[in-house]
Every structure is written in structure tokens, then in C-alpha cells.
């Protein structure tokens, strides 16, 4: 038995033990293992120090992927602001494809709804490819179809600030879509690529929803009527998104709280508010974080401090970024995060069908409507 075969067999055994232990503890509670679980915007960052993003998944990450019970993660190819971003996006697709090939017993690519079904049936984590900016477009709409053919399945129009397509959420002018942006909205619909309005300005969101020919998403955000932060979205736009058949993913970010780190109560409060505004058919989860456990120590806080300083220098930093604003919910840290959240929602009296929709059923429905079978 080679290393890959050994890791594959070990991950299957580990998954079965975790499922059995969970059922023994929870009794008749929500059946997490039967649910579709989709992180509408996340990562598969490796927890092993020193590993490069291009490296094959480490043994620890393989274990975490086997344990998490996640059907799919929508992973970002590119969010840069300089250099040959189109070439870098193409290269990142190849890099993720190599990761899948190196750990095909726990990972698989998702390019269609059928691929999503296959990921669930085979207990592997599907990778959905997105971009979080459109600077790579350079006014060439034909690039959408090129990247779609390579595996791109979701496009975010703008990242916080203005680009040639639209204004982001930090732009004070809030001018909305440009002519190119309107053409891009039409092209995404024609190419059957999911349009993501996260990080966009309020006018951009409203205009793009009105023009959308297929259901859009706001993959990772919070409710601005609860916490007035520019990365969150007001109820008016959330209702419009739901009316168009779309889904909002609530993130596990500090912007759910007034300041500092957000906690489980903040996340649940935003989820319940979003359901009350949009209806349970239009809310999901987009953590904006990784699957593996993050060690919350001084080194982590220093990384957050440096990251916030770098983002501020680039002009893309949002309020409440820094060492004391963890980019996760501490109570839902690690590969068991969604399982614990489902149990907490069940204890609050959420009906099983609603929990299943929020965990991933709603995102799966949008993917099917946009991508087709």
C-alpha cells in the first residue's frame, strides 16, 4: 500500500468513527451527515507551518478534510490588485487542480451540480473556484468564458474599492455599476457563472440584482441593520436578493460584532435576522475562513496585526480589522465547526429542514439553477 492509499484508507476509517461517535452523543438530534454542507466562501489553507499554498495537502489537512463532513468549499483563486492577474488566475486553477490530484481520496473538483452530488456521495470535499475581484478582466469580456472553461464558477464584481466594473463597499461615492459592469452582469448570466456581490457598494448591489438574469449570491457578509459596518448588507438589498432567488452567506468574521472578535451568539443573531428578512430559502454560510483549527495565540494575533497594516497600506482595509478581531468564531474553530453550529441551532428549536437549507441546501439550489446539471 502506497502513501496515498494509506492516507485514503485512514481518512475513511477516521470519518466513520467520527460519524459513529457523533450519533452516539447526539441521539435523535439533527442528522448532520445526511445534510449538504457548503461553505459559500472559504479556504483549504493548510495548518502545517511553513507549507506553501502550492504544496500538496499535509497529513493534518487530509485528516481535517476527512473529519469536517463538508460537501464543498468555494475557494478563491485571485483577489490581487497588481501584476498579470489573468495569468495568475489561470496558474491558481492549475495549482488547485494539482492539490485535488494529490489528495483525490478527500478532494474533488466541482464544475456542475452533478459534481456536487458526487462529492456528497463519495464523502469528499468539493472545490468550487471563484475570484474576488475583476481586475483580471481588463475590459475583455471573452476572458469570462475562457476562465469558465477552465473551471471558474463564481465571480465577485469588486473588492471593497472601485475598479472598472463597479464601486466597492468602501467607496464614498457609491456610484454603482459602470457600462463595463453592466455588460459583465449580462455575460456572467450568459456564461452560467454565479455572480457574487460581496464587498460591493450598496448601489452596485442594487443595480446588479436588478439586472441579473440568474440568481446572484452575496457569499460572505453580515446584516448591516444589526451592525452598521460597510462589509455588511442592509435589509433592503437582502430582500431584493431573495426576491431574485439568490442566497446570502453569513460569515464568521469580526464584522458581526460592534468591535473585537465576534462569537457564537453574534453569528446566530445574524443568521436569525437574515432568515427573518430573506426567508429560510435564501440564507447560507460563507465563513471566509479555513477548515482546520487555528491556534489563537500571540503569533496568530501578530499575523492579524501585520495583515491589517498591509491592507491599510493598499487602501482595502475595513473597520475592525486587527490583532483583537479574530477572523473566525472561536466557538466554531476547526473541522467540526458546522457540526457544532447545527447542534446549537437545533437546541434553539430550529426545525431540521431549515438547518439543512442554511448548512448548504440553499447554495446547492442556486448552483443548480445557474450552472445546470
Full set of structural domains in the chain with CATH:
3-19+36-371 (3.20.20.140)
- CB contact set of 217 (below 8 Å; sequence gap of 6+): 40, 154, 194, 195, 196, 197, 198, 241, 246, 247, 248, 249, 363, 366
**pTM of the predicted model over 0.85:** yes
Summarize pLDDT for 24-78 with one digit per residue, the tens: 334 458 999 999 999 999 999 987 655 666 678 999 999 999 999 999 999 999 9
Rounded distance between C-alpha atoms, residue 107 and residue 365, angstroms: 21
- CB contact set of 177 (below 8 Å; sequence gap of 6+): 157, 165, 166, 185, 203, 204, 207, 208, 211
Q: What are phi and psi of 82, to 5 degrees?
A: -150, 165
Summarize pLDDT for 135-176 with one digit per residue, the tens: 999 999 999 999 999 999 999 999 999 999 999 999 999 999
Rounded distance between C-alpha atoms, residue 343 and residue 348, angstroms: 9
Summarize pLDDT for 71-128 with one digit per residue, the tens: 999 999 999 888 899 999 999 999 999 999 999 999 999 999 999 999 999 999 999 9
SS3 319: coil
Give the H/E segment covering residue 37.
none
The set of cell numbers assigned to 68 is: 469536517
Rounded distance between C-alpha atoms, residue 277 and residue 251, angstroms: 17
Amino acid at each position: 500500500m502506497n502513501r496515498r492509499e494509506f492516507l485514503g484508507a485512514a481518512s475513511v476509517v477516521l470519518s466513520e468513527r467520527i460519524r459513529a461517535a457523533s450519533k452516539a452523543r447526539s441521539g435523535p438530534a439533527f442528522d448532520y451527515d445526511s445534510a449538504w454542507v457548503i461553505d459559500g466562501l472559504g479556504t483549504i489553507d493548510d495548518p502545517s507551518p511553513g507549507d506553501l499554498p502550492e504544496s500538496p495537502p499535509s497529513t493534518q489537512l487530509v485528516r481535517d478534510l476527512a473529519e469536517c463532513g463538508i460537501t464543498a468549499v468555494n475557494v478563491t483563486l485571485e483577489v490581487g490588485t497588481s501584476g498579470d492577474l489573468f495569468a495568475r488566475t489561470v496558474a491558481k486553477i492549475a495549482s488547485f487542480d494539482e492539490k485535488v490530484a494529490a489528495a483525490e481520496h478527500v478532494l474533488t473538483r466541482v464544475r456542475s451540480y452533478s459534481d456536487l452530488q458526487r462529492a456528497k456521495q463519495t464523502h469528499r470535499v468539493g472545490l468550487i473556484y471563484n475570484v474576488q475581484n475583476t481586475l483580471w478582466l481588463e475590459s475583455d469580456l471573452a476572458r469570462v468564458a475562457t476562465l469558465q472553461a477552465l473551471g471558474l464558477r463564481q465571480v465577485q464584481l469588486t473588492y471593497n474599492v472601485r475598479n472598472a466594473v463597479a464601486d466597492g463597499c468602501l467607496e464614498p461615492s457609491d456610484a454603482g455599476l459602470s457600462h463595463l459592469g453592466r455588460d459583465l452582469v449580462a455575460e456572467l448570466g450568459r456564461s452560467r457563472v454565479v455572480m457574487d456581490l460581496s464587498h460591493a457598494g450598496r448601489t452596485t448591489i442594487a443595480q446588479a440584482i436588478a439586472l441579473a438574469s440568474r440568481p446572484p449570491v452575496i457569499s460572505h457578509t453580515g446584516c448591516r441593520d444589526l451592525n452598521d459596518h460597510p462589509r455588511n448588507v442592509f435589509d433592503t438589498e437582502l430582500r431584493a436578493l431573495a426576491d431574485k432567488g439568490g442566497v446570502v452567506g453569513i460569515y464568521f468574521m469580526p464584522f458581526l460584532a460592534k468591535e473585537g472578535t465576534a462569537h457564537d451568539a453574534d453569528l446566530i443573531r445574524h443568521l436569525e435576522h437574515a432568515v427573518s428578512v430573506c426567508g429560510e430559502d435564501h440564507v447560507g454560510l460563507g465563513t471566509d475562513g479555513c477548515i482546520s483549527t487555528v491556534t489563537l495565540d500571540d503569533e496568530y494575533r501578530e499575523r492579524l496585526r501585520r495583515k491589517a497594516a498591509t491592507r491599510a497600506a493598499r487602501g482595502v482595509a475595513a473597520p475592525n480589522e486587527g490583532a483583537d478581531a479574530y477572523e473566525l468564531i472561536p466557538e466554531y474553530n476547526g473541522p467540526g465547526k458546522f457540526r457544532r453550529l447545527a447542534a446549537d441551532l437545533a437546541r434553539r428549536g430550529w426545525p431540521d429542514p431549515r438547518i439543512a437549507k442554511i448548512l448548504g441546501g440553499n447554495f446547492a439550489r442556486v448552483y443548480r439553477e445557474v450552472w445546470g446539471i
